[in-house]
Structure 1
Amino acid sequence: MAQVYQKIAEKMSSMSKAQEKIAKYILSHPNTIPFLTVEKLANLSEVSIATVTRFVTFLGYKGYPDFLKETQETIKEQVESIERIRIRDELESDTNRKLYEVFEDDVNNIRYTMEELNIFELKKAVNFLVNAERIYIVARRSAASLAIFFKYYLELMFNNVILLENIEQIPKHINRDTGEDVIIGISFDRYSKSTVDIFTHLKNRGAKTIAITDNMLSPLVPYADITLKASAGISNSVFKGSFAGPLSLINAIIISIENEKKDCYENNVKILEEALSKFELVM
């Protein structure tokens, strides 16, 4: 409670009956008091003007104008406080809205990726991978996180998965016969030159090529035997990457391969679980 009203409440027990009438009216109408003349307050409290004057003196004020000034300061503080709360709520509401927009962008990216999915091309990619002698994955910068995820699950089904993290790794693979190899290139807008260079090099060496990218203008597309599109954009942000769509696409590929190599996958997972348990690597 504001100081002036707190003061009145604390002194209620030592007030006369007439003063109590004034006090009760003031405490019941705190937002109108700052706009009342002494005559009006006396009339509404059903006491004399002299009683109101003695009342404010009893509270410690020099006169009614001093009392009125403090009530006006109090309501000013209340209005400012309410305005601050309103502005804060608006800001928080705007922040919350933007947070929800991030989730909406992810949902839209997954939906767009699903709608644009060419099932025939996906099945063809799965066939390439199932029959590959070696599987190379190349991705740079933030897309490298997708490559690491992809490699982890492919290794549960294949023993020949190689993540090419930089172009310096190429020489040790250059003399190999790559005719039965597959390279997966992952890159999105602001495309990585090194990803394109490695992808192109292995294409020229005879490897089958799968591009996971965001549109047909991607520099990976001209060198891809199979192009799988995934939406990777996010609106209203300097941060432009959303990998919900590409990750869902990669999950779809993994599940499709798992269905093709179910026995092998289940056996490898069993071996992995036994190793994790033996060395207490999980809780």
Structure 2
Amino acid sequence: MAKTDDLIKRIQDNYTKLSKSQKIIAEYIINHYDKAAFMTAAKLGASINVSESTVVRFANTLGYNGYPELQNALQELIKNKLTTVQRLEMTEETDEIAILNNVLKADIENIKETINEINKDDFRRVVSDIINATKIYIIGSRSSIVIAEYLGFYLNLIRENVSVVKAGVSDVFEQILRVSENDLVIGIGFPRYSKRTLDVLKYAKSQNAKIVTITDSLISPLTSVADEILIAKSNMASFVDSLVAPLSLVNALVVAVGLKEKEKITDTFEKLESIWDEYGVYFSKPN
């Protein structure tokens, strides 16, 4: 099977030699490799208005023995994603306004794809799991900690016994040591997936806890131990992973849980409003 970095290098090394149609294929693969990885040569060609034979010739031009070998390399690419250096090398646009437009359009597309691909039944079950779990642990490493903290902040307003597992505070396994079968562990991970997050999920699974993963693909390593999987697209416009769609998904979870528990949390929010007013937590308009 072709190495992940070999595919990117082959595209870069051969780009100037490619025909106009082959360059369209190359650009589509670079920007949408998660889609292309599961397309037949015919379907890939149809999606960008080139012939199946052009797609096959493209694979041969890159040195692959046919399209299936290129497809294998693409699937490896999804598993491992790109290094930061590779992302920078693929980004040639330098005009600020073009970058603004490209990034915002990519975020919009990520949200659209998330709406289309998320498993609605899993979403309903996760809402129920959040409500019914004895304790909830949320784990996200590196950039995913932003999503984990956000989810933890709002779930703590809605219910008790919510903990965000934080790497670097103490060993993560110490923080999740007492996880049990009545608990819920939410693992959040996007490329380039953190091994520590997966290790925590594996431990929680061994203790019979229910596992939910929020990730970008069904072949994400985090899905291997999941009871429920919520897919949120994070395709990048450059070297920065987009967390816009994952944040929107988490927003939806929080709102859905909050509305299910509306009567229970009314008193909580009334008390919080009183505390916020008393201690001037928020700026208020002058009289």
Quick check: 1:186 aligned with 2:192? no
Superposed, 1:80-119 pairs within 5 Å as: 94-119=95-120
Superposed, 1:100-249 pairs within 5 Å as: 100-166=101-167, 168-171=171-174, 173-174=176-177, 176=178, 178-235=180-237, 237-239=238-240, 241-249=241-249
Which residue type is aligned with residue 166 of structure 2? E
> 1:242/1:93 Cα in 2 relative to 1: closer, same or farther (>3 Å)?
closer
Which ranges of structure 2 fall in alignment gaps of 5 or more residues?
1-92
Which residue type is aligned with residue 164 of structure 1? V
Q: Distance in 1 between matches of 2:224 and 2:103?
A: 32
Superposition TM-score, scaled by structure 2 size: 0.63
Quick check: 1:271 aligned with 2:271? yes
Aligned to 2:253: 253
Indicate the SS of the match to 1:97: helix
Indicate the SS of the match to 2:154: helix
Q: Distance in 1 between matches of 2:244 and 2:216?
A: 12
Q: Distance in 2 between matches of 1:172 and 1:192?
A: 17
Deviation at 1:276, TM superposition (A): 1.1
Indicate the SS of the match to 1:282: coil
Deviation at 1:169, TM superposition (A): 3.9
Aligned residues: 189
Q: Distance in 2 between matches of 1:264 and 1:177?
A: 25
Q: Distance in 2 between matches of 1:244 and 1:278?
A: 34
Indicate the SS of the match to 1:155: helix
Superposed, 1:3-82 pairs within 5 Å as: none
Q: Distance in 1 between matches of 2:269 and 2:104?
A: 32
Aligned to 2:28: none
Q: Distance in 1 between matches of 2:272 and 2:123?
A: 28
Deviation at 1:265, TM superposition (A): 2.4
Q: Distance in 2 between matches of 1:258 and 1:248?
A: 15
Indicate the SS of the match to 2:212: strand
Which ranges of structure 1 fall in alignment gaps of 5 or more residues?
1-91
Indicate the SS of the match to 2:221: coil
Deviation at 1:170, TM superposition (A): 2.2
Superposition TM-score, scaled by structure 1 size: 0.64
Deviation at 1:191, TM superposition (A): 0.4
Runs of 4+ in structure 1 deviating by more than 3 angstroms, as ranges, are none
Q: Distance in 1 between matches of 2:242 and 2:174?
A: 33
Query: Is the 2:165–2:175 Cα contact (8 Å) retained in structure 1?
Result: no
Aligned to 1:67: none
Which residue type is aligned with residue 197 of structure 1? D
> 1:221/1:147 Cα in 2 relative to 1: closer, same or farther (>3 Å)?
same
CA offset digits 1:78-130 (Å, max 9, x no partner) = xxxxxxxxxxxxxx993212211111011111111111121111001111111
Q: Distance in 2 between matches of 1:172 and 1:144?
A: 15
